[in-house]
């Protein structure tokens, strides 16, 4: 049998009238019942929260994350890149880090970059050049490269292989272990409008 709070209060009041002055009034007992209910509710809520946390923590500590969907804009328009520096070929992977090439200060480099535009994608523009520690771009989205080694803005680059030959002299003043990046920037119009820039190769001066 379930007695709600109003019925309990009426019952306690009747008993109090019959028994004389009670040690506890009906209001005090009802208030104690309400406080006990509140403590029980808080305890249950805490147990639920702890259970949820126990489920969430192993996922966070596992250090794994789901890969981007295969049909996401970044995946569909990211080109496949192969870089050659003075005849040494290396593939630029989709994940970091970029391949590294040892170079000598003052050396003349011939760099061949093969860019494969994905199927169904169209590149409106493509830029290749050298960057330092940071990649920046102008307000109109053009990468700030020092120097700019290639700026292809016409015609559009459709799906397939496109090859670019670049020439750069490694500054003779660079100290051993200095790093410069070969940067690729592009904009696409199909299937999604995307502006992107990334390091496709690291050029590291040799240590003597």
Q: List the domain boundaries for the chain.
A: 5-61, 73-205
pLDDT reading at 32 higher than 80: no
Q: Evaluate the CA torsion angle 24, 28, 30, 34 in order and state its sign.
A: negative
Per-residue tokens: 47: 């147990």
pLDDT at residue number 62: 29
pLDDT reading at 65 higher than 50: no
pLDDT at residue number 130: 94
Q: Check: CATH 3.40.50 for 73-205?
A: no
pLDDT at residue number 124: 92
pLDDT reading at 60 higher than 50: no
pTM, two decimals, is 0.61
- Distance CA(23)–CA(129), nearest Å, equals 89
pLDDT at residue number 77: 76
pLDDT at residue number 70: 47
Percentage of residues in the chain having pLDDT higher than 70: 57
């Amino acid at each position: 049998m379930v007695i709600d709070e109003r019925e309990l209060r009426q019952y306690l009041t009747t008993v109090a009238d019959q028994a004389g002055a009670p040690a506890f009034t009906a209001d005090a007992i009802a208030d104690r019942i309400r406080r006990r209910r509140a403590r029980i509710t808080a305890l249950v809520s805490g147990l639920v929260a702890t259970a949820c946390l126990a489920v969430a923590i192993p996922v966070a500590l596992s250090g794994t994350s789901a890969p981007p969907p295969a049909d996401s804009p970044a995946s569909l328009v990211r080109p496949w890149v192969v870089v050659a520096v003075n005849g040494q070929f290396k593939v630029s992977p989709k994940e970091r880090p970029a391949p590294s090439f040892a170079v000598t200060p003052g050396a003349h480099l011939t760099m061949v970059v093969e860019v494969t535009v994905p199927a169904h994608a169209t590149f409106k523009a493509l830029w290749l050049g050298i960057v330092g520690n940071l990649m920046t771009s102008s307000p109109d989205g053009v990468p700030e490269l020092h120097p700019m080694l290639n700026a292809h803005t016409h015609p559009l680059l459709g799906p397939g292989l496109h090859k670019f030959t670049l020439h750069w002299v490694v500054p003779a003043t660079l100290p051993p272990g200095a790093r410069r990046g070969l940067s690729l920037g592009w904009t696409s119009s199909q299937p999604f409008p995307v502006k992107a820039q990334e390091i496709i190769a690291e050029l590291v001066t040799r240590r003597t």
